[in-house]
Structure 1
């Protein structure tokens, strides 16, 4: 299922529900329908920026761990490499973060599911 974030501040941001859910959970928002008010946008930006920073620190470790597991699996066969997820959390979250920043500047709300 897709979630479309709408605001007068920026173009719509469309995300898969599975990608938007961790962000909305962090902001204590319902996935089905909700609003991030202009007043809430400052706190939302700070939370999302901290999560992006934390995820970037873990990405390198996780990629190394996946590579080690792929090369040293139970069969000691490295021909079946695990597919690495090419899109990071930070890359998925940046469009919404950008929208939040613009909404804060213009004092606009962000809505979804309406």
Structure 2
């Protein structure tokens, strides 16, 4: 599945299924084909995404590059897309949407 997050306040954000599932779980939502993130829930969603990004960054800093990790085989992390890179467009969308007072939807 591909997620297409939409808002009247920002350009669309498209994510592949596993990445969309991950960010939805991080903001406390079960992955579904259709959904809505209401304005009132946006500050908590942004805080949860930022906390997860910081946690992953700290874990990456603590793990030497030559050790195997969840992201792939031993060796360089070149080419590995971090949660920070994946979540940033959605965080921006949510922040803009919150400021504009408009919901974020997907699958609609």
- Asked if these proteins are the same fold (TM beyond 0.5), I'd say yes
Q: Is the 8 A contact 2:26 2:52 kept in 1?
A: no
Q: Distance in 1 between matches of 2:67 and 2:46?
A: 35
RMSD over aligned Cα atoms: 1.9
The residue number in structure 2 matching 1:96 is 90
Moved over 4 A (4+): 80-83
Q: Is the 8 A contact 2:66 2:76 kept in 1?
A: no
The residue number in structure 2 matching 1:108 is 102
Question: Which deviations, in whole Å up to 9, do the C-alpha atoms of 1:6-49 show, x marking residues without a partner?
Answer: 00010000001101111101223232211100111111111111
Q: Normalising to structure 2: TM-score of the pair?
A: 0.83
What's the secondary structure of 2:40's corresponding residue? coil
The residue number in structure 1 matching 2:81 is 87
Alignment of 1:10 onto 2:7? no
- Structure 2, unaligned runs of 5 or more: none
Q: Is the 8 A contact 2:7 2:103 kept in 1?
A: yes
- Structure 1, unaligned runs of 5 or more: 70-79
Find the structure with the greater CA-based Rg.
1
Q: Distance in 1 between matches of 2:27 and 2:49?
A: 9
The residue number in structure 1 matching 2:28 is 28
User: How many pairs align?
Assistant: 102
